[in-house]
Amino acid sequence: MQSIISAKNVSMRFNLGIEKGYSLKQAFVDLITGKRRDKIDNDFWALTDVSFEVAPGEVIGFIGNNGAGKSTLLKVIAGVMNPTKGSVSVCGNICPMIELGAGFDMDLTADENIFLNGAIMGYSKDFISSKRDEIVEFSELSDFMSVPVKNFSSGMIARLAFSIATIVDPEILIVDEILSVGDYSFQQKSEEKMLSMIKGGTTVLFVSHSAASVKKICNRVIWLDHGHVIKDGDTSVCDEYVASFSV
């Protein structure tokens, strides 16, 4: 079977010498002290030689400690970053679950945000119009559709974001620690929605720290540590990951 995602020897380098908001002052200081910032050797390899193939319909969990490279890997797959070395090829449309509310404009109403967010994810106007009611119903926010999102609670924003993100059946769904949104009943509902999408054949890339939820949802697990793939296998990898802490 042809793979839907194939990553070949992906390596990703960050230069930690790059300070956020590099300013004229620093450039000036560097000029005087004769320091060349980009020459400073503090490269950080977030991913080293990561290769894997994903078959359609697979549900892959990525586990690992903070800084293991999980989110970087997903960003490379989503096309947000280009890998320093290696290549990633994806055949199919990707739906990244945008970090809760990242695509929202707080001054717009919930209704306007549905269209804005849908457009950001690449859907057409007709498509969003036809799905609008379904989104409203799933989010349980029908009384608040004409309220600016800035007046929403964080749980309400999360519910709206989740409802928009999952309303289509994308071929590939990227989920980065999102299931813990909303109150208990919405968590149940979102988990059910995820499971039904998985049954429908969506390929899911799922990042989580919770070995239990990975075990519940995924049928394949990739364990990353410091940018390397430690193990790639079935859910028993979860147990090994958990066991690695008890030694």
Partner 1 sequence: MKSVKNIAFALKTYGFLMQQLVGRDFKVKYKRNVLGIAWSLLYPVLLMGVMAIVFSRIFKINVPGVSYLVYLMTGLVYFNYFSEASSLAMGSVVVNFSLINKVYLPKYIFPLSKCIFVGINFLLTLIPLYAVIILTGTGLNWYHLLLPFSFFCLFLFTVGMGFVLSAVSVFLRDMFYIYGIVLTLWTYLTPIMYDINMMNPKFAAILKFNPLYQYINFARMIIIYRSCPSWLNFVASLGSALLVLLFGVFVFRRNQDKFIYYI
Q: What is the CA radius of gyration of the chain?
A: 20
Of 2-10, 48-56, 109-117, 204-212: span binding partner 1 (CB under 8 A): 109-117
Of 10-18, 37-45, 53-61, 186-194: span binding partner 1 (CB under 8 A): 10-18
Of 31-39, 50-58, 62-70, 116-124: span binding partner 1 (CB under 8 A): 116-124
Residue 67, sorted as left (phi over 0), alpha (psi -120 to 50) or beta, turns out to be left
Q: Which is nearer to partner 1, 52 or 115 (CB)?
A: 115
Amino acid symbol at 148 = P
Work out which of 108, 145, 147, 230 binds partner 1, going by CB under 8 A.
Answer: 108
Amino acid symbol at 190 = S
CA distance 193 to 165: 11
Is residue 20 a contact point for partner 1 (CB under 8 A)? yes
Q: DSSP character for 19? A: -
Query: Minimal CA–CA distance to 81: which of 14, 19, 128?
Result: 14
Give every strand in the sheet of 59-63, ordered side by side.
94-96, 172-176, 203-207, 59-63, 220-225, 228-233
Question: Are the C-beta atoms of residues 223 and 63 closer than 8 Å to each other?
Answer: yes
Work out which of 15, 51, 130, 154 binds partner 1, going by CB under 8 A.
Answer: 15
CA distance 188 to 202: 19
Q: Which is nearer to partner 1, 82 or 185 (CB)?
A: 82
Work out which of 29, 40, 80, 195 binds partner 1, going by CB under 8 A.
Answer: 80
Is residue 103 a contact point for partner 1 (CB under 8 A)? yes
Of 123-131, 153-161, 205-213, 221-229: span binding partner 1 (CB under 8 A): 123-131
- For the record, the structure tokens of 92 come out as 């199919």
Provide the mask over 56-75, with x wherever binding to partner 1 is found by CB under 8 A and - wherever it is not: -------------------x
Work out which of 40, 119, 195, 212 binds partner 1, going by CB under 8 A.
Answer: 119
CA distances (Å), origin 210, targets 154, 159, 180, 185: 22, 21, 11, 19
Q: C-beta of 23: minimal distance to partner 1 in Å?
A: 5
Binding site for partner 1 (CB under 8 A): 14-15, 18, 20-25, 27, 75, 78-82, 94, 96, 98-99, 102-103, 105, 107-108, 112, 115-116, 119-125
